[in-house]
Structure 1
Amino acid sequence: MNTTDAIWSALEEVLDPEVGVNIVDLGLVYEIEVDEKGHADIEMTLTIPECPLADEIVSNVKEAAAAISGVKDVNVSLVWEPKWSPARMNDRAREEIRARQRML
């Protein structure tokens, strides 16, 4: 598995604390690039720009990516275009959200 793919996999363990679903399945991660020196650039968004847990999510993303072998440093850029919408979620995220709603 290459470093970029390993980071994608690691980010599947990072949850959006308010939704309880991982940020990859939610469609919050837009792009990951890793250069030959081990510098990782991650472009992502949040469900809303004024997310009160933004710092926690970004910190968790940095920690997960930095744990990958070969990654020397991580830069996370929050972007607001394209704007996130529920259409970015994959089927697994939709099922997890439905299951949580049924439990309430």
Structure 2
Amino acid sequence: MPDEEAIREALKDVIDPEIGMNIVDLGLIYDVEPDPATRQVNVNMTLTSPGCPVGPELKSAVWLTVKRMDGVEDCEVNLVWKPRWDPSVHASEEARMFLGIW
């Protein structure tokens, strides 16, 4: 069963096509909760906006990425809106520089 760090690393392969950066560095992944007892992973994530047109695509990509990891039986991906995504707070330094936020 992968740990939180390994799952977050795998999720860096999921790219937001509108921005061109991975969703982990953008700060869209809020919580990753692997449960070794049930072999289930719960992921709480957000989108850049509630009306994000690629939201369903990103959610599916997260589910598929986690589900394909060795030791994972099931994955639940929840879209959450609190706290509201703020790239100046949630994004990595690399992402903030990419977005022009200093």
Q: TM-score, normalised by structure 1?
A: 0.87
Q: How does 1:83-102 map to 2 (within 5 A)?
A: 83-87=84-88, 88-98=90-100
Cα distance in 1 for partners of 2:43, 2:99 equals 25
Report the equivalent of 1:25.
25
Report the equivalent of 1:40.
41
Report the equivalent of 2:52.
51
1:7 aligns with 2:7: yes
Question: How many Å apart are 1:2 and its aligned residue?
Answer: 4.1
Residues 2, 34 of structure 2: 8 Å contact kept: no
Question: How many Å apart are 1:94 and its aligned residue?
Answer: 2.4
Unaligned ranges ≥5, structure 2: none
CA RMSD of aligned residues (A): 1.5
Q: State the SS of the aligned residue for 1:92.
A: helix
Q: State the SS of the aligned residue for 1:58.
A: helix
Structure 1 or 2: more helix by fraction: 1
Cα distance in 2 for partners of 1:33, 1:86 equals 22
The amino acid of 1:39's aligned partner reads Q
Cα distance in 1 for partners of 2:95, 2:29 equals 14
Cα distance in 2 for partners of 1:40, 1:68 equals 10
Report the equivalent of 1:102.
none
Report the equivalent of 1:68.
69
Deviations 1:31-80 (A, max 9, x none): 01111221110001000001111110001001111121111111000000
Residues 3, 70 of structure 1: 8 Å contact kept: no
The amino acid of 2:91's aligned partner reads M
Cα distance in 2 for partners of 1:18, 1:70 equals 32
Identical positions, percent: 43
